[in-house]
Structure 1
Amino acid sequence: MSKNPSVHEKFGEQIPFCEPYWYQGGASPYYHEGHKKFRATLRKFVEEELRPNVDKWIKEGYPKNLHERAAELGINGVMYPKKYGGHQPDDYDPFYEIILYDELGRIGGGFVMGQIFINGIGLPPVVNAGSEAMKKKVLPDVLGGRKACALAITEPTAGSDVANIRATAVRQGDHYVVNGIKKWITGGAMSDYLTTAVRTGGPGLGGISLLLIETNLPGVNIRKMPTAFDTAHNTTFITLEDVKVPVENLIGEENKGFKLIMSNFNHERFMFAAEAIRKARLCYEEAIKYALQRRTFGKKLVEHQIIRIKLAEMARQIESLQDNLERIAFQFKHAPWDQKEFGAQCALLKVNSSRILEFCAREAAQIFGGNSIVKEGKGKIVERIYREVRYYAIPGGSEEILLDLAIRQAASVGLGSKL
């Protein structure tokens, strides 16, 4: 290894662009020995314990106790303080999270271990604004893999338009009585807690609060929704009928939940991008390996210039996304997740990630040809990822909403007033 500490030893696949540049001996100012150890633990877990079972778990759902195994390895709660049962290393920074979702993305679709991602969007409001009693009750079990937490914001009539949610929470003594519907809630069927947006006040963003709702309470009904993509996890439809939630389950202050939700989105969009980049890279890896073997018209596919151009365009966009992702991570390393000025950057990052994933999935499918339209054989990973593209383009803020958000923020600065 080079004496320069920023130059890294080689790890994983060494065909160029199949792994991030620092896996292939590239120099980086961001990654250190702690990151490398964490990466090695994840790679071993994914290769030995997850990937061999993906096809089975897509049909049956993956076993919940895998999260306890992940906790044993220090994976499940790497972002959270040890005093609450997390596994945050002393040298923790957001690059650990990039490694987490990047390596889990190597599973090859199907959302095995998807609850780690869902916990990552359901727990931050509890960590940032929940009472000490709430943290001590919820975090150790979730971070230990024994329980799970989902984020329940979206409704049939309010997706990205969070300010218009209709689920109500009416205070009656020491309880709130909650009524409403939540839709497209990923992880609902596996979760024991729902970080739930409810209307406790008047119309608009000023009347929204966050409540932690335990899924075993009477009146909570959860059903799995079929989706366009195969999944070992679950997307759910939740009805809340006269659910009595203790007042102490309020997260933060009453009628001030909208700000908590918005600040949580920056982190969520960063997570989406960290996961999407590996799936895009996996499309490239599967495609170039196939092109090196498959022969058409007397040549290997990779000997056809048009195929090389497709691969080059995939690699170009993936590497630009890697740089974009790491630049945002570096900003977050030195400032809070919820800083308003990062909103536009995270919005553009997520759009970049979903569009680059869509491009790579399409081009990989073209290279695989007929093998990319069946759920078996050499092209099954590309086929599976192709059907997952919309999951990255819509949840967490649709591309159109996020592009508009970025420029509205920019224009507001230029105008000196909110647009």
Structure 2
Amino acid sequence: MSQDPLTKVPFEEPSWLVGLPNPLYKETHIRFQKAARAWFEENFLPYCMEWENAGELPKDLFDKFNQYNMLLPNLAPPLPVEWLHKSGVKDILGTPIEEWDYIHTAIWVDEIHRSGLAGPSSGLTAGFAYGIPPIIKYGSRQLQERFLPDFLTGKKRTCIAITEPSGGSDVANVETTAEKSKDGKHYILNGTKKWITNAIWSDYTTMAVRTGGGGAAGLSLLVVPLKVEGVEMRRLHCTGSKTGGTTFIELEDVKVPVENLIGEEGRGMFYVMNNFNHERLLIALGVARTSRVCLSTAMGYVMKREAFGKPLVEQPVVRHRLAKAGAELEMLQAWLDQFLWQMVHLPKQDADKRLGGLTALVKAKAGMVLNECAQNAVLLFGGNGFTQTGQGELVEHVYRDVMGSRIPGGAEDVMLDLSIRQLVKNYQRATEELEKSDGSKSRL
């Protein structure tokens, strides 16, 4: 007999998963959600806390995900059907790849984050989510033929390397240089990259480098091998996401074939910025589920924990905390559903133009919501929430992961500023075009 949705702990699931109507989710999405939840519950979720506490993922986990095509959902829809068919990939847990859209992607992101822990998922996904898409979108046919078959099937592993010790969100001022050799056959790379997720396990990286002068116009993207002479890597240990494989990379006279250029020289800033939209939306989707896990865990705790002779949930101050955090969470969820609808129905060019600034804003807001949910959960757990074992272990972990959503993918303050600058730019451009149009009509 199926469980009554009303027996779910409040805030445990988004509305469509507790039986409330939602026009966004069609039969194909419902089927995939059920298949994905069963797969993650068998192969991933029960072990995440153990892996995160140990700081390591099993060596065969990446291969297991790829065996079932379960990292492909990180790619920006529509999926690269031609390349996947060439590699023998036809479906993801029964969903045909031709059918895949951003709503399927969001479901996958939601399900993998049901552990509440950022580390295990980030330790698997960075290459597919951020490293491969620029090759699909902007790489030459030759470049795609060389790399996509191995990358898409997980035979080779990649990541993305943009951030440097001198700055993270200031992409236009990347300092790592890529100068052509005298014979013109190679770029010679020198510089450093920092906070690079998954790099320690990767064979290659999609890297932002300076091929020209200063500023954005001098940036390019290269596919850079990491297991070659001149590359030194060491793992960094962060506040949260212990299994994310965060890495420091040093490059000294590293030779990269000129054929590894993605797209055109000097177009790197555009490629990076376009890629960031997908990254930021994925972060926001994952953070929404993490917030949900954290808040519902606290909700379950206060309904059974007694103090002063009655359950904590009977204390008005406790209910007040839950209500404030819950309202923030459900508003974020509604905004993300709206985003998904727009991503599915807007032409890509319109989505890139009109949703870029808003994507930065929703990513920033998601981090704030997670902070609200995690902080309140720890406070409601009291001493148990301040302890790395026992009843409050999960919310303690989530609280340590909060900054991992507010900084990577674009630091929060930069995202807030970027969102308004982009909205103003769109307004000014549209106003200028309207004035030109009106002027032309008046002269007729």
TM-score, structure 1 normalization: 0.92
C-alpha separation between the residues in 2 aligned to 1:171 and 1:30? 50
Tell me the residue number matched to 2:72.
77
Q: Deviations along 1:225-259, whole A, 9 cap, x unmatched?
A: 11112512211100111110011110010111110
* Among 130, 133, 152, the residue aligned to 2:139: 130
* Among 316, 322, 336, the residue aligned to 2:348: 336
C-alpha separation between the residues in 2 aligned to 1:345 and 1:414? 13
C-alpha separation between the residues in 2 aligned to 1:10 and 1:260? 47
C-alpha separation between the residues in 1 aligned to 2:170 and 2:262? 21
C-alpha separation between the residues in 2 aligned to 1:163 and 1:273? 24
User: How far apart are residue 49 of structure 1 and its match?
Assistant: 2.0
> What amino acid is the match of 1:111?
G
Inter-CA distance 168–321: structure 2 relative to 1 (3 Å threshold): same
Contact map agreement 1:68 1:144 (CA 8 A) in 2: no
> What amino acid is the match of 1:138?
F
How do 1:26-65 and structure 2 match up within 5 A? Answer: 26-58=20-52, 59-65=54-60
Tell me the residue number matched to 1:4.
none
* Among 183, 206, 212, the residue aligned to 2:194: 183
> What amino acid is the match of 1:159?
G
3-state SS of 1:340 partner: helix
Contact map agreement 2:116 2:289 (CA 8 A) in 1: no
> What amino acid is the match of 1:131?
S
* Among 95, 102, 105, the residue aligned to 2:113: 105
C-alpha separation between the residues in 2 aligned to 1:158 and 1:12? 48
Tell me the residue number matched to 1:152.
161
How do 1:296-375 and structure 2 match up within 5 A? Answer: 296-333=307-344, 334-336=346-348, 339-375=352-388
3-state SS of 1:375 partner: coil
User: How far apart are residue 194 of structure 1 and its match?
Assistant: 0.5
User: How far apart are residue 401 of structure 1 and its match?
Assistant: 0.8
C-alpha separation between the residues in 1 aligned to 2:418 and 2:55? 39
C-alpha separation between the residues in 2 aligned to 1:128 and 1:96? 20
C-alpha separation between the residues in 1 aligned to 2:15 and 2:50? 33
Inter-CA distance 64–180: structure 2 relative to 1 (3 Å threshold): same
Tell me the residue number matched to 1:140.
149
Inter-CA distance 396–294: structure 2 relative to 1 (3 Å threshold): same
Contact map agreement 1:69 1:145 (CA 8 A) in 2: no
Contact map agreement 1:208 1:256 (CA 8 A) in 2: yes
User: How far apart are residue 101 of structure 1 and its match?
Assistant: 1.2
C-alpha separation between the residues in 2 aligned to 1:11 and 1:72? 33
> What amino acid is the match of 2:72?
G
User: How far apart are residue 33 of structure 1 and its match?
Assistant: 2.0
List alignment gaps of at least 5 residues for structure 1.
Answer: 1-8
Contact map agreement 1:62 1:112 (CA 8 A) in 2: yes
C-alpha separation between the residues in 2 aligned to 1:182 and 1:311? 41
Inter-CA distance 53–345: structure 2 relative to 1 (3 Å threshold): same
The structure where helix makes up a greater share of residues is: 2
* Among 232, 236, 243, the residue aligned to 1:221: 232
Contact map agreement 1:328 1:345 (CA 8 A) in 2: no
C-alpha separation between the residues in 2 aligned to 1:162 and 1:266? 14
* Among 218, 239, 242, the residue aligned to 2:250: 239
Tell me the residue number matched to 1:6.
none
Inter-CA distance 77–13: structure 2 relative to 1 (3 Å threshold): farther
TM-score, structure 2 normalization: 0.87
**Displacement over 6 Å in runs of 4+:** 9-13
User: How far apart are residue 13 of structure 1 and its match?
Assistant: 7.0
State which drifts further: 57-66 or 117-126: 57-66
Tell me the residue number matched to 1:386.
399
Contact map agreement 1:200 1:255 (CA 8 A) in 2: yes
Contact map agreement 1:287 1:364 (CA 8 A) in 2: yes
Tell me the residue number matched to 2:172.
163
Q: Deviations along 1:338-378, whole A, 9 cap, x unmatched?
A: 62321211011011100000000000111111111111111
Q: Deviations along 1:255-288, whole A, 9 cap, x unmatched?
A: 1111000111111110110100001000111001
User: How far apart are residue 195 of structure 1 and its match?
Assistant: 0.4
C-alpha separation between the residues in 1 aligned to 2:5 and 2:119? 24
